[in-house]
Structure 1
Amino acid sequence: MKKFFAFIMILMMTVSIVSIDTSYKDSMKYVSKDKIVFIPLDTRPVSLQNVEILAKAGGKELLVPPMDALDDYKKKSNQDMIYDWLKGSVERPDVSAIIISTNQFISGGLIGSRNYVNDINYKESLERLKEIIGLSGDKRLFLISIMPQVSPVLYQQDTIYVQNSANIGYYNQIKKAISENDTKTLKRLKANIPSYLFNYIAVIASEVIINEQIASNLKPNVTFTIGLDDTTMKSMLKYSYDDLKTAIKGYKNVYMLHGADEISMMTVAKILNEENGLKPSYKIVYEESGDENSYLPFEGGTVKEITEEKIGYIGGVVSQDAKNIIYIHMHKNYKTGIKNVVSKYKISGQNFGVADVAKTNGGDKDLVEEILKDKLIKLIDAYSGWNTPSNTIGTVVSELSIKSYIGTTKDKKDFEDMQKYYYAFTFIRYADDYIYQSIVRDAMQNWAKSNGLNPDKLTNKSEADAVLREKMKPYLDTLMSIYDDCGVKIKGADVEYPWSRMFEIKVAPILE
């Protein structure tokens, strides 16, 4: 019996020692700080999977909450689970930085933030956020807030709203009532305004209040980035964005950017540059004279303004003698040819990226087919034709920054691993932006409608996934063959719809 108790005591001591040695709360100096705690904007691939892959290309690993804690299309996230998970993650000694989407943390995701009901208890969420910031110590912490596009279609939030002085009055009244927690006035306004208009104005007003409160109380180690989602120059959303800009003028460590989906990728690039003392340089090449002053669809700024602010955000500089060239493709019928453009501008040692903004929600077929036909995969180091111009330009800025960082890597194995993930990311962009968005998406929507299905509310996603794989396969096989010819091996690629809608797909490359 004595021997048994002695054994139990030794076992308990051993377990205790193991627990201490592996605790995230210890102060081990030798732990490599290669991890980033990450609360995504939402669970779409562009906000989560693709950010993870680009982070791996930069030698970083993202720590993400369990998927059942995060949002799923119109189902908002479990904010209690995310809060508890963060409390146990931000103190880890192997974490070098933290990225938190306030839309996910406060409202339950990007779609959740489009309903004012999900912002009602924002004060409690802000207190929780302060606690997380305190627990993070002196680690670099990045808060990202997206001011969301609320109306179902963009024209509903255009001139008809902002030029109506009554709507400006409603905005000011609702904003004041929210800030003062005046439920009586809110109830009266809600009864007197059409429900869609009340929700629209209440959302953008509450976002202004929340963001102003966050910006006014930042610690030195915290950076706050506010993105402007799909908009126009004359929308109420743009009006509220300008209102916020005035309110927070002069606050330190606050950035206001156009765009949404790409900002997490840009923040990963920013972290790598800050941690390594890098300032990647960019030369911006516009296709035609005057392009830089253009206002493109879904944007609240010029092409030049959007491009330069994104380069500045990641810590880069604009220079004519630059390591990175970002080529802004705006004209579908541009006759010069991408091969000639690359030959004209790219010299040895430079990285060349194409921001394909000739159309929204997809790449220019003629441009990409020329890239693939002439096998320019390795000459064109970065490509994106994703969604809006801001999303596209920000993605390419991020890609080129990561490519520059990979070029500084001395260890051969690390270099090869990072290159592998980088090319997986570029493969996804061609597969999604070109193959799906510009070719297969229309065919899939026609298939859905002919079978009595709503493309935005799929009731049998597994069947839609099977048809998607069938229609994507020949194009993916061709793309993989071209990558192989260029010396990049992609063994396979699976595709599916991440949510029960056909707006975007998830592409999962299978690497060697």
Structure 2
Amino acid sequence: MSKVVYLPLDERPCNYLFPQQLAKMTDLQVVVPELEILGSKKKPADTAAVRQWLLEAARDTDVLLVSIDMLVYGGIVPSRLHHLSLEECIRRISVLGDIKRSYPYIKIHAFNLIMRVPNNNKDEEEPDYYKFHGGQIFKYSYLTDKSERDSLSEAERRELENLQELIPKQYLHDFIERRVVNQGINHYALQLAKDGIIDHLIIPLDVNSQYGFSSREQRRMICRVEELDIMDRVMIYPGADEIGCTMFSHIFCQIKNYKPEIFVRYSSTQGPTIKPKYEDRSLNESIKSHVTASGALMTDHSFETPLVLVVHSPAIDQAGMAEQIPFKDRHRSYFSEIHYRETVEAMQNYLRKGKLVALGDVATCNGGDPVLMKLLKQKGLLDQLTAYAGWNTSGNTLGTVISHFIIISYYMGQAENNIIHESRKFYYHRLVEDFIYQSLVRQDMLENDLPRLNASYYMIRHCLDEVHAILAAKMKSAVAQYLGNIKEGQIRIEDLHFPWVRMFEIGFELEID
């Protein structure tokens, strides 16, 4: 049995548990550190303990899958808050070289984010000053990069000058200097890839846009990748919390010598060319990256492969994309440029032909599209698909569904019952969280329950017991409504909780009786 030692990006289920759940549907063993050393949100991990754990775990393994953000900064949020010097960061990452020199046969797969510049005034995961100046910092980032690459209008030049006066210099300096250090570590990681320390490196762009600090840093890194002649082992594309799943799938395919082909079909003619919200490139280019990074290939025709990925895509760029809002309030393109009925009937037809069908539900952000999911339920297809995801960003969704799809496709037709069982559990786990919670229950609670508790999206700690009780009741009801008649049996959900004590995500255990 091959063993993979996995150091996650942080302690949330999407990073800590999802790759382990994928591993359960394989004959690979995944070893992770105890949660106690991984920190909590803004509290960084015990990085000394993390390094020691990694050194000890490497003694009898075949593969390391390492989050450099965790190894160096103590997690994804601490990577945005730290005051470490570049020298200290390099000292922390040097453990990878120590491991490679001691165990040269180990394959090291690593990932490290290009730090995000969110366009909002929230300090939930950013420095405290972001609450007051976040939107200004984003716009400053956007306009300074645009001025270097293209040209600014007179109004934009005045706005940039005004921003330089509005943003306190110490805050801008803090934000930029941290990026300099983080970017230094990214370039150091490229050198480790050149030197053969890191065998496979992915640099995900965490919440980025067409212009900005992230875009500028990406360009420099891609140029450096070309200079070092390491394009065969480095990828840079939008993503973040799905990357553990993606890279585990890649490792799985390497170990199994498996290179599946996937046909991608869109619900919108415009879909392949749309730039999704929080990303800097067309959807089809992102999908190429996710499929390649996961260990597969895209094929030109559906008849060439048994694997069909249906991408429920937006038909409008960026700001026009719908969040979880009423259908009637969406951009008009959702009514004219997305064909719900035809997409579902096409899925039904692929299934009739015996193909495996997965659904990447990215037409809306931060949850699946209830319109499509209700139609799938009407057609009796919710328990017929092989894989599904529809959470947070387009990249998060695609990396999750593609990695699951690839892994289970290897076993189809020959799998033992426990492998199929674990795959179905993961599939329904995604339906329950991405569609039922994020699209339905969370919206219901935000509108109808939190106001009377004097609570909000990020403020539920003072009434956590009441919110837990409401969550459990509404989840049970919604699961019964949408998944009460699945072919595998009865879904049971336990240990519902909020990992970061906010409404954004939930954690839970799922069983099928």
TM over 0.5: yes
Instruction: Name the residue aligned to 2:160.
Output: none
User: Is 1:343 the counterpart of 2:348 in the alignment?
Assistant: yes
Letter in 2 for 1:213: Y
Distance 1:508 1:50, change over 3 A: same
CA distance in 1, matches of 2:102, 2:433: 39
User: Is 1:363 the counterpart of 2:368 in the alignment?
Assistant: yes
Distance 1:68 1:53, change over 3 A: same
Instruction: Choose which of 209, 217, 235 in structure 1 pairs with 2:212.
Output: 235
CA distance in 1, matches of 2:378, 2:423: 21
User: Is 1:264 the counterpart of 2:230 in the alignment?
Assistant: no
Greater mean alpha carbon deviation, residues 96-105 or residues 455-464: 455-464
Distance 1:116 1:239, change over 3 A: farther
Is the 8 Å Cα contact of residues 114 and 148 (structure 1) preserved in structure 2? yes
Deviations 1:105-140 (CA, angstroms, capped at 9, x unpaired): 111111111124156521221222322333443122
Q: With the length of structure 1 as denominator, give the TM-score of the two structures.
A: 0.82
Instruction: Name the residue aligned to 1:58.
Output: 26
User: Is 1:322 the counterpart of 2:300 in the alignment?
Assistant: no
CA distance in 2, matches of 1:270, 1:405: 13
* TM-superposed deviation, 1:502: 1.3
Is the 8 Å Cα contact of residues 144 and 212 (structure 2) preserved in structure 1? no
Is the 8 Å Cα contact of residues 208 and 241 (structure 1) preserved in structure 2? no
Deviations 1:134-171 (CA, angstroms, capped at 9, x unpaired): 344312221111122144628555554232379979xx
User: Is 1:100 the counterpart of 2:71 in the alignment?
Assistant: no
Is the 8 Å Cα contact of residues 73 and 500 (structure 1) preserved in structure 2? no
Letter in 2 for 1:108: G
Instruction: Name the residue aligned to 1:199.
Output: 174
Instruction: Name the residue aligned to 1:133.
Output: 100
SS in 1 for 2:204: strand
SS in 2 for 1:62: strand
Letter in 1 for 2:92: S
Q: With the length of structure 2 as denominator, give the TM-score of the two structures.
A: 0.81
User: Is 1:124 the counterpart of 2:91 in the alignment?
Assistant: yes
Aligned length: 451
Letter in 2 for 1:80: A
SS in 1 for 2:113: strand
Is the 8 Å Cα contact of residues 216 and 248 (structure 1) preserved in structure 2? no
Instruction: Name the residue aligned to 2:77.
Output: 111
Is the 8 Å Cα contact of residues 375 and 482 (structure 1) preserved in structure 2? no
Distance 1:79 1:194, change over 3 A: same
1:429-508 alignment runs, 5 A limit = 429-446=430-447, 447-460=449-462, 461-483=464-486, 486-508=487-509
Greater mean alpha carbon deviation, residues 42-51 or residues 360-369: 42-51
Deviations 1:281-324 (CA, angstroms, capped at 9, x unpaired): 01111223232111111111111100011111122111121221
Deviations 1:448-476 (CA, angstroms, capped at 9, x unpaired): 34323353244344443233212212012
Greater mean alpha carbon deviation, residues 105-114 or residues 469-478: 469-478
User: Is 1:416 the counterpart of 2:384 in the alignment?
Assistant: no
CA distance in 1, matches of 2:375, 2:179: 42
CA distance in 1, matches of 2:466, 2:29: 33
Letter in 2 for 1:77: A
* TM-superposed deviation, 1:202: 2.4
CA distance in 2, matches of 1:167, 1:386: 34
Instruction: Name the residue aligned to 2:199.
Output: 222
* TM-superposed deviation, 1:280: 0.8
CA distance in 2, matches of 1:45, 1:102: 18
Distance 1:509 1:165, change over 3 A: closer
Is the 8 Å Cα contact of residues 159 and 234 (structure 1) preserved in structure 2? no
CA distance in 2, matches of 1:64, 1:309: 26
Distance 1:490 1:453, change over 3 A: closer
CA distance in 2, matches of 1:322, 1:443: 40
Distance 1:165 1:141, change over 3 A: closer
Distance 1:357 1:60, change over 3 A: same
Question: Which structure: larger Rg?
Answer: 1
SS in 1 for 2:410: helix
The percent identity for this pair of structures is 22
Instruction: Name the residue aligned to 1:148.
Output: 115
List gaps (5 residues or longer) in structure 2: 121-133, 150-163, 315-333
CA distance in 2, matches of 1:144, 1:408: 33
SS in 1 for 2:263: strand
Distance 1:227 1:399, change over 3 A: same
Distance 1:440 1:78, change over 3 A: same
CA distance in 1, matches of 2:174, 2:432: 36
Is the 8 Å Cα contact of residues 366 and 391 (structure 2) preserved in structure 1? yes
Distance 1:478 1:70, change over 3 A: same
Is the 8 Å Cα contact of residues 267 and 340 (structure 2) preserved in structure 1? no
CA distance in 2, matches of 1:242, 1:488: 50
* TM-superposed deviation, 1:440: 1.6
1:179-194 alignment runs, 5 A limit = 194=169
Letter in 1 for 2:186: N
Instruction: Name the residue aligned to 1:86.
Output: 54
Greater mean alpha carbon deviation, residues 241-250 or residues 130-139: 130-139
1:363-402 alignment runs, 5 A limit = 363-402=368-407
CA distance in 2, matches of 1:509, 1:119: 43
Deviations 1:460-504 (CA, angstroms, capped at 9, x unpaired): 444432332122120123344232xx2345344442111121111
Instruction: Name the residue aligned to 1:279.
Output: 259
Is the 8 Å Cα contact of residues 108 and 197 (structure 2) preserved in structure 1? no
CA distance in 1, matches of 2:378, 2:508: 22
Greater mean alpha carbon deviation, residues 130-139 or residues 49-58: 130-139
CA distance in 1, matches of 2:40, 2:287: 31
SS in 2 for 1:475: helix
* TM-superposed deviation, 1:350: 2.1
Letter in 1 for 2:475: M
SS in 2 for 1:268: helix
SS in 2 for 1:482: coil
CA distance in 2, matches of 1:382, 1:166: 39
Instruction: Name the residue aligned to 1:14.
Output: none
Letter in 2 for 1:244: M
Distance 1:299 1:221, change over 3 A: closer
Distance 1:128 1:359, change over 3 A: same
* TM-superposed deviation, 1:245: 1.5
Is the 8 Å Cα contact of residues 280 and 323 (structure 1) preserved in structure 2? no
Letter in 1 for 2:79: S
CA distance in 1, matches of 2:204, 2:145: 26
Distance 1:96 1:373, change over 3 A: farther
Letter in 2 for 1:253: R
CA distance in 1, matches of 2:184, 2:391: 30
Distance 1:213 1:193, change over 3 A: farther
